[in-house]
Structure 1
Amino acid sequence: MATYLIGDVQGCADAFDALLDALQFDPAHDRLIVLGDLVNRGPQSLASMERLMALGDSAQCLLGNHDLHLLAVAHGVRKAHRSDTLDDILQSPRRTELIDWVRRRPLALMERGWLLVHAGVLPQWSADKTVQLAAEVERRLRAPDYVDFLRVMFGNQPDEWSESLAGFDRLRIVVNTLTRARFLQASGPNRGRLDFHNKQASANGASSELLPWFALPQRETAQTPIAFGHWSTLGLRWEHNALCLDSGCLWGGALSALKLPPAGQPWLDITQIPCTRSLAPMPD
């Protein structure tokens, strides 16, 4: 039995199918986890979702920022962007079932000793703490009145973690970290503060005070291997015990999968499928 982690699909269903074929994925014996952003921007959001749903218990998808955006648009909490490709989901006769399935996805998982998130973690959080905080948000998204939470979920504040945070502020920083984090303040009194303005592959040219979230010294998850997506300009990269699996399929890069290694294996087994460009390449 193999377990595969797959980077951001973002509606590129043909590449997703091609990757499963390349892996010789057998849902009777194998398992896969998509690291968030299953839908949006690519040409086949509905097909991507239906493909994953059809795999049943053999597949899982973390919630990414685009998946949360879908929930908000579906309930009129946010307006659709011009670049969104969600209409096939929103106009589907199965719309209610599809939206309900999305809101029940997890935000973080532990799998064979790996911590899995869409974007990042804060330096104060251990792996167990990350999963615990994710569960707080998951319970709110799965509650009958979850649309009330969607109405207050978006926003950049607070951008610093404190154990004293409560209510929607606490949930919002957890959502932002797990689905949007890239750079953090590297030192000083604001060490660990989220930065939402820079997307390039390094802090060079952004600010000497910023570091990628996984590069902060002495973070609590330093000894835990972490797999994440979200950062297409970073691309496939293994650094500081963290693996970025978003290799820019949407932008004409590749769709990448990691076969989770047994304990102690010193190398990573990566499979990639080249993707047809759906959007113009993002500048680094």
Structure 2
Amino acid sequence: MSMPSIWMIGDIQGCCGSLETLLSQPDIQEDPDAHFWFAGDLVNRGPQSLATLRRIMSLGDRATVVLGNHDLHLLAMAAGVRKTGKKDTLDEILAADDAQDIIDWLRFQPLAHYEFGHLLVHAGVLPQWDAEQTIELACEVEDALQSPDWKKHLQLMYGNSPDQWDERLKGPDRLRVIINALTRVRFCDKQGRMLLNVKTEPSPEDKSLIPWFNLSKRATRDVTVVFGHWSTLGLKLDNDVICLDSGCLWGGHLTAVRLQDHAVVQVPCAQTLDPRED
């Protein structure tokens, strides 16, 4: 019996209509047993965050999800440690009859997944980490989110410091670096420090901003790292990195890439936000 297709899908951010259109495409529908890997940021900014979560949850074991920064923001709101932002579209989730079930499901999702030579994260990995260590470090955060004290851990999640990996880090500092790498990083400097406030597209002229995947001696070059989070980078298909975020929220596309052969399926999306508002 052949292995089911695995479709890796970029940031949805509450655009459930686009997700339904993508899932209905002939190349995806032809395998009724297909599985789906979601690269995080399932919710927020788009108009249908609640419907998006319910749809993905309905896929059961056919869905593999890693958490993104917007998903963690929802958990922080549910924990009472973050307030609603002016661009958030999460209130309908927290007001839903099944809100507790949704929040419990979300906080039990991983921050990294490795299988079939592909490492799935939301944003990136630090150069010192190979695939095995990435999974181990993600599990440290997952244990915190799944613990009875998960709300307390979320209180300590936010901040840009420390900005560099050190194996000796402990406690909240250690978890914060792991979270920031897996859910927020785009650029680093030459020393591997995360530059977390920069969201632009890469520029060959600016040598001070190095995309995390271009850092020298990156230990994950022997696998394919699959990520989203970077709409200004857009779809990127290389042997060792795949970026799935093609700007669905900004009137771009929602993208799926088949793991087995890296075939691409995209659907155009209505513009939900002006990129200048981000």
Q: What is the TM-score with the length of structure 1 in the denominator?
A: 0.93
The answer on whether the counterparts of 2:253 and 2:269 sit within 8 Å (CA) in structure 1 is yes
Structure 1 match to 2:211: 212
1:179 counterpart residue number? 183
Partner of 1:279: 273
Counterpart selection for 2:21 from 2, 18, 21? 18
Within 2, Cα distance between the matches of 1:218 and 1:106? 26
Note the C-alpha offset of 1:240: 6.7
Q: 1:89 to 1:224 in 2, by over 3 A?
A: same
Kept in 1: contact 2:5–2:31 (CA 8 A): no
- Does residue 156 (structure 1) correspond to residue 160 (structure 2)? The answer is yes
**Deviation larger for 21-30 or 220-229:** 21-30
Partner of 2:201: 201
Aligned to 1:103: 107
1:4 aligns with 2:7: yes
**Paired amino acid for 1:253:** G
- For the residue of structure 2 that corresponds to 1:249, the secondary structure is coil
Tell me which residue corresponds to 2:222: 223
Aligned partners of 2:193, 2:271: CA distance in 1, in Å? Answer: 34
Equivalent residue, structure 2, for 1:33: 37
- Quick one: structure 1 residues 50 and 27, their matched pair in 2 at CA, closer, same or farther if it must change by over 3 Å? farther
Partner of 1:242: 241
Q: Displacement, 1:222?
A: 1.2
User: Comparing 27-36 with 221-230, which one deviates more in the overlay?
Assistant: 27-36
Whether the aligned pair in 2 keeps the contact of 1:27 and 1:55 (CA below 8 Å) is no
Unaligned runs of 5+ residues in structure 1 are none
Secondary structure of 2:92's counterpart equals helix
Encode CA deviations 1:90-112: one digit per residue, 9 max, x unaligned: 11011111111110110000121
SS at match of 1:153: coil
Q: Give the counterpart letter for 1:5 in structure 2.
A: M
- 1:63-212 pair list within 5 angstroms: 63-186=67-190, 191-203=191-203, 207-212=206-211
Cα distance in structure 2, aligned partners of 1:244 and 1:24: 19
Report the alpha carbon displacement of residue 26 of structure 1 after superposing the two structures with TM: 7.3
Tell me: CA distance 1:240–1:56, structure 2 relative to 1, closer, same or farther (3 Å): closer
Task: State the distance in 2 between where 1:25 and 1:65 align.
Answer: 30
Structure 2, unmatched stretches of 5+, are none
1:106-139 CA-partner distances (Å, limit 9, x unpaired) = 0000121101100000001111110110011101
- Identify which of 62, 65, 69 aligns with 1:61: 65
Secondary structure of the residue that 1:181 maps to in structure 2?
coil
Divergent runs of 4+, >4 A? none
Give the Cα–Cα distance (whole angstroms) in 1 for the partners of residues 136 and 263 of structure 2.
29
Q: In the alignment, residue 140 of structure 1 is paired with which amino acid?
A: A
Aligned equivalents of 1:31 and 1:122: distance in 2?
A: 28
Q: What's the C-alpha RMSD, in Å, of the aligned pairs? A: 1.7
Answer whether contact 1:12 1:250 (CA < 8 A) is retained. yes
Equivalent residues of 1:52, 1:60 under 8 A apart:
no
- The whole-number CA distance in structure 1 between the counterparts of 2:258 and 2:28 is 12
Identity across the alignment (%):
49
